[in-house]
Amino acid sequence: MTARGTGALMSVTYEIVAGDFVRAGEAASKLKRVLQQLGLDPTIIRRAAIATYEAEMNIVIHSYGGHISVDITCDSIEILCEDSGPGIPDIEKALQEGYSTASEDVREMGFGAGMGLPNIRRSADDFSIESRIGQGTRLQVRILHRAGE
């Protein structure tokens, strides 16, 4: 984790390693702690934790690795997830509940319900996803909040 000096109240970046199922979830857990320390509303924290966890798992499972950068401003949480990887050929399809290309091995661990991206979309006030085949995926989530409320 590194802290950057921007106009945001706080900025953090987490590196996500592909295939590391033991550390997977740590970025979301660390972000949750940061948001708790900032005194944000538990419902807002929950939404940010869900979105970050699902994006983190998608990087672990479906990409070759990437990072998640979060800017917390006085009225929003901006979560940017970038990975290098195969990309998503059909984003519309990937957003459908139940659609998954997860392998049998990861399904046995309880991943691959095809609910990650739908969970992210439901958690977000703004959501955008861009992907380039053979290069990677970029996911942006904005959650609005009012600091200290």
Ligand X SMILES: Nc1ncnc2c1ncn2[C@@H]1O[C@H](COP(=O)(O)OP(=O)(O)OP(=O)(O)O)[C@@H](O)[C@H]1O
Residues lying near ligand X in the complex (CB under 6 A): 54, 58-59, 61-63, 83, 85-88, 94, 99-102, 111-117, 137
Helix 26-37 crosses helix 42-62 at what angle (to 10 degrees)?
160
- According to CB under 5 A, which one of 66, 85, 116, 136 is a site residue for Mg ion? 116
Residues 48-87 that bind Mg ion (CB under 5 A): 58
Nearest to 55 by CA among 75, 79, 85, 38: 79
Nearest to 1 by CA among 31, 38, 23, 22: 31
Residues 53-82 that bind other proteins (CB under 8 A): 53-54, 57
Stretch that binds other proteins, among 9-17, 47-55, 70-78, 83-91 (CB under 8 A): 47-55
- Binding of residue 142 to other proteins (CB under 8 A): no
Asked if 48 and 33 count as a contact pair (C-beta separation under 8 A), the reply is no
- Binding of residue 14 to other proteins (CB under 8 A): no
Compute the distance between CA of residue 60 and CA of residue 64 in angstroms, rounded to an integer.
Answer: 7
Which partner in Mg ion, other proteins, ligand X, none is near 62 (CB below 5 to 8 A by kind)? ligand X
Asked if 69 and 43 count as a contact pair (C-beta separation under 8 A), the reply is no
